[in-house]
A and B are shown apart, each in its own frame.
Chain A
Amino acid sequence: MADISASDAGLLKTSDGRPLKSALATAQQRSKRRAFLLVLPLLAFVIITFIVPIGQLMHQAIYNDGFSANMPRTTAWFAETPPGTVPDDAAWEALALDLKDAAAARSVGVVGTRVNYEMSGTRSLFTSTARRADDFAPPYRDALLAANEKWDDPNLWGTMRQVSDAYSANFFLAALDMTRDVNGDIVAMPEDRQIYVNLFVKTFLLAALITFTCFVLGFPIAHLLATLPMKWSNLLMILVLLPFWTSLLVRTTSWMVLLQQQGVVNNTLVAAGVIGDESRLQMIYNQTGTIIAMTHILLPFMILPLYSVMRPIPPSYVRAARSLGATSWTAFRRVYLPQTLPGVGAGSLLVFILAVGYYITPALVGGASGQLISNLIAFHMQDSLNWSLASALAALLLGAVLVLYWIYDRLVGIDNLKLG
């Protein structure tokens, strides 16, 4: 065969006289293009409605024009002068005129907020000065200092210089509990303001704990389902699939109802005399509530991959091990368990990925101690309105999730994702 293809390849022709090799290449190219064209509409759709918005979110994490867009003259002065320049008359004039314009355009709050992110307590400085901006007259330095002494602070000017560049890594620094000092060097936040790194660590620990409880609860169930006759396991599978198909909010609500202080579980325990009426357990609106509800919600994501790996394992392997003298524990540990590892990996990774980014359940049943990083992103989006910080936190979370997703694809393969 090899000889023929080597010597005659150039001679083989299709019926219309073209060399076979190039005809084949053209045909393959065409079928490749056809396959790609089928996927293209969806790919374009997902890129526009999903990838682009997330790209915009990432951009928001490093870009904030709150200062530069509303203070054009001051921004220009910062751009022209090297860092550390003592503000001259031109600088004071630019600042005063910008403040006047910003006050008229009602955007001074945005400017103050932007500076305030880097140097707390400055927002009111901007808004209170802007209220008097109409009366500013040269010399502007005296006018501004008359409005507020703090304008003379070189640190304030250093901070303004930093924020005059709309592109900034400062929000990422803030998301990692770091900040810049007056010289622009990166330093750690004061101890009492370090929250984000701890929250990331807590989120990952809780996700790991939830993954572990899901594994402990899911393994026996998957094993039972995989070893029962098909007729029975299909029936019992419904008990796994029904929670999977039930609304997340419904499941979260049920746990709130069950675990409340006046709820079914506490009432049953009191009625059974296990606990006294005064010492009802606080099981919801704290970390415990988050763990219980999330374990329940994510358990099917552990059971289904485990089951699909365990089902094809022939029971004869364990029987062979037993016949060779292994105890049932040894046979399970040395023969059965290693074969289930792909399922364990797939299920654990999936549960962990989903748990790390969970929002709804912690928001509803987590109380103060059960909040995860997603909840803080939502807080900065909806309440504190520090969108750039929210975006930076989201970018870090997304990075972590994408690494896990990549590992999942490597180890398990996305094709092997199964849903019921």
Chain B
Amino acid sequence: MALPVYASPLERIWHYTRLVICALIFLFLIAPILIIIPLSFNAEPYFTFTEKMLAFDPSGYSLRWYDLLLTQPSIPNDVPRDAAWWGQVWTESAWVRAAKNSVLIGFFSTVVATVLGTIAALGLSRPEMPYRRLIMAILISPMIVPIIITATGLFFFYSSPCALIGWTGLEPYCGRLTSSYTGVVLAHATLGIPFVIITVTATLIGFDQSLNRAAASLGAPPTTTFFKVTMPLILPGVISGALFAFVTSFDEVVVVLFVAAHDQQTIPRQMWNGIREQISPAILSVATILVVISIGMLATLEILRRRSERLRGVTPM
């Protein structure tokens, strides 16, 4: 990147112009995410920096919007915050309930997507796998198909999940999957699967199959080989796939909009309401929390990447 010694003056000017342009694009990428963090501590219900904030006057900043997250929709704010009050927050606060739902749905859909996805990735990366290209295309398609189409299709399917096997006479016993946790978890697992497949097959590309054969020749049954030899080596890929799957579920709103009911309200669903109706700075405090979470996820991934590079003997240049 350094400017070569033979660069002409014009090239020098262009070189620095280019750096400035790149800096501006980086600003475009990152500024919108960082700017909401200070704004979420605004003491006033505005979406812009007040004069007090710009002067770094402590009275311009407050935690009132974070407080609002705990007390919405109708928890008293002016009583002493004892155990009973916190208990009420835990059970009644709309945002806390949404957070619990998000974590619950995210956890189960991640487990389903990661377990099924990892096993399938093992099969897909074997050279003898038949119809590899077609199957891969099917498994990745939930990521490509527009989310509104997926949500609409699931809405019809969940309304009567057994309509297609009506001839068995089971249909009346099937019930519905709309307004159920199961429905949302299954849908989110499907949406997370492509990410698990992509990350795990990418890890398996560098995987030496002769290690498996070595384990087998030493008498290890396939399950032992998997847990003692394969798994530790592909673990970084599996974990990053699981993280992707979790984030996909944690961030998903359209399917929840279409197939879930009030009981399955998640954080994005709650944000969607907040943004559509009357956007209040409380949304910014949620957004800030989510940004902090994604910074944590990114850091985890980076650590994993470095670890796997070290294990494979690839040193960063």
Contacts and interface: CB of A to CB of B under 8 A. Distances in A.
Interface stretch (B68-76, B78-86, B93-101, B190-198): B190-198
Interface stretch (B57-65, B120-128, B213-221): B120-128
Contacts of A45: 112, 116, 189-190, 193
A414 B150 contact: no
Interface residues of A, number: 93
Contacts of B11: 328
Nearest to A420: B301
A38 interface: yes
Contacts of A23: none
Main secondary structure of the interface of B (DSSP, over half): helix
A377 interface: yes
B169 interface: no
A240 B29 contact: yes
Interface in B133-163: 133, 135-142, 144-150, 152-158, 163
B126 A35 contact: yes
A36 B122 CA distance: 10
B29 A243 contact: yes
Contacts of B145: 54, 357, 398, 401
Nearest to B241: A419
Contacts of B291: 246-247, 250
Given A39-B129, A264-B35, A245 B287 contact: no
A359 B46 contact: no
Interface in B156-214: 156-158, 163-164, 186-187, 189-190, 193, 195, 198-199, 201-202
Interface string A312-329: 000000010010000010
A299 B29 contact: yes
A258 to B, nearest CB: 6
A42 B32 contact: no
A53 interface: yes
A337 to B, nearest CB: 15
A257 B36 contact: yes
Contacts of A242: 30, 33, 294-295, 298
A60 interface: yes
Which of A52, A245, A300, A397 counts the most B-chain CB atoms under 10 A from its CB?
A245
B30 A247 contact: no
Interface residues of B, number: 97
B251 interface: yes
A417 B201 CA distance: 11
Contacts of B154: 49, 53
A249 B120 contact: no
Contacts of A49: 154, 186-187, 189-190
Which of B139, B149, B186, B198 counts the most A-chain CB atoms under 10 A from its CB?
B149
A238 B302 contact: yes
Interface in B303-317: 316-317
Interface string A243-268: 10111111111111110101110010
B32 A56 contact: no
Contact of A31 (B126, B272, B283, B294): B126
Interface string A394-420: 100110010001000100001101111
Contacts of B39: 257, 264
B55 interface: no
A353 interface: yes
B153 A253 contact: no
B140 A414 contact: yes
B28 A296 contact: yes
B261 interface: no
Contacts of A264: 35, 39, 47-49
Which of B49, B135, B144 counts the most A-chain CB atoms under 10 A from its CB?
B144
B26 A357 contact: no
Contacts of A397: 146, 149
Interface stretch (A68-76, A181-189, A194-202, A227-235): A227-235
Given A46-B139, A220-B25, 14 more contacts: A36-B129, A46-B193, A247-B290, A249-B251, A254-B33, A254-B35, A264-B35, A322-B4, A353-B144, A377-B152, A387-B156, A390-B152, A394-B148, A414-B137
8 contacts: A38-B126, A45-B112, A57-B153, A224-B18, A262-B47, A264-B48, A267-B49, A398-B146
